[in-house]
Amino acid sequence: MVYLPDHIQKIALVNRSLVKKEDRQHKVIESVATGEIAGSDRLASDECLKGVFDRINGYRGIIPIIPQNTRLYGSGTRETPELLDWKIVKDICDSSGSDALLVLETFDSNSDLIIKTVANQVVNVINGGTAKPSVPSQIRMNVFSFWRLYDPSNMKIIDQYQSTHYLTFNGVGTNYTLAPPVALPRTAYDAGQEYIERFLPSYYTVRRDMYKRGKGSAKRQFKAGFRRAEMANWQDALDIWKEIANNRRRKNAGRACLNIAVAYEVLGNTDKALEWAKKSYQDYNNKSGRDYAKVLIRRKELE
């Protein structure tokens, strides 16, 4: 979702979400009102940074660094602080040998009770019954965080991002209304990992349809090509399908062209794939080739 400039290899991590001593009274009042344990955000916010550190450490040469000055004062709430002074950013980066500074600007947590067996309650009402009293048995922890990534070399903000991350836990205590001790640090750790994923490549699966069978004399050739594709032997499959593409039977040729297009996409040649998909439709009226060409055009636009 976000690209790191090429010159950034070392990133200093700093926690700015902590509150000054004179402002702690307000924070404690808020903690009681929202169900937090007073002071828990201090440790949990460090876990948030640890999630970032563990996820990105050593990934493609990126090195996260914990500088000597790991904490700066901020609002202690969800109120976003002003940008750090660039002199402070440069001093931290210079002293730690870092190329950029990632700051957890704000961090705040709350917990919500989730009522047990909600579905059963709905079913009872639908069936003409009444909802029975139920004791909450699950706790949903939510962590609010706001991040900024500073680049001191050109005094630019590479990224700033706000998120709320949720995890659900079974409650503990007599009435199951207390969150287990691991709930907040684990949610905070996951929130840190979720943030830094914005800078890491991700993978997704796409579906491509091919023809396994043809007509007449090409029937065996289609199957032979498909078997090679199943074994990831795409080059041999291409050779077989290209022979069929020269076949006088238009239907077989159109199908073969589509298979060739898929093979070229798998091999990383999107331009060739688009060329053969268009040929499948334009020369042989294979409508699947038309649809596939549109998919490839969108892919090229993204690339």
Q: Which of 23, 46, 148 is CA-nearest to residue 88?
A: 148
Q: Could you give the 3-state DSSP secondary structure of residue 58? A: coil
Cα–Cα dist 269/288, whole Å? 19
Q: Are residues 182 and 239 in the same domain?
A: no
- Residue 112, pLDDT above cutoff 50: yes
Surface-to-core class of residue 99, CB atoms within 10 Å of its CB (0-12 exposed, 13-18 middle, 19+ buried): buried
Considering the chain, what percentage of its residues have pLDDT values greater than 90?
A: 54
Residue 182 within a domain: yes
- Domains in the chain: how many in total? 2
Which residues constitute the domain of residue 112?
A: 10-199
Q: Which of 14, 4, 82 is nearest to 53 (CA)?
A: 14
Is position 134 within any domain? yes
Determine the pLDDT at residue 121: 52
pLDDT of amino acid 116 = 46
pLDDT at position 163 over 80: yes
Is 270 a residue whose pLDDT tops 70?
Answer: yes
Distance CA 120, CA 201 (A): 41
Q: Judge if 26 and 135 occupy the same domain.
A: yes
CATH of the domain at 280: 1.25.40.10
| Any domain includes 285 | yes
Quick one: pLDDT band at residue 168, thresholds 50, 70, 90?
Answer: confident
98 or 134: which leads in pLDDT: 98
The residue among 149, 174, 199 that closes a domain is 199
Residue 203, pLDDT score: 79
Domain identity same for 223 and 191: no
Shared-domain flag, residues 125 and 85: yes
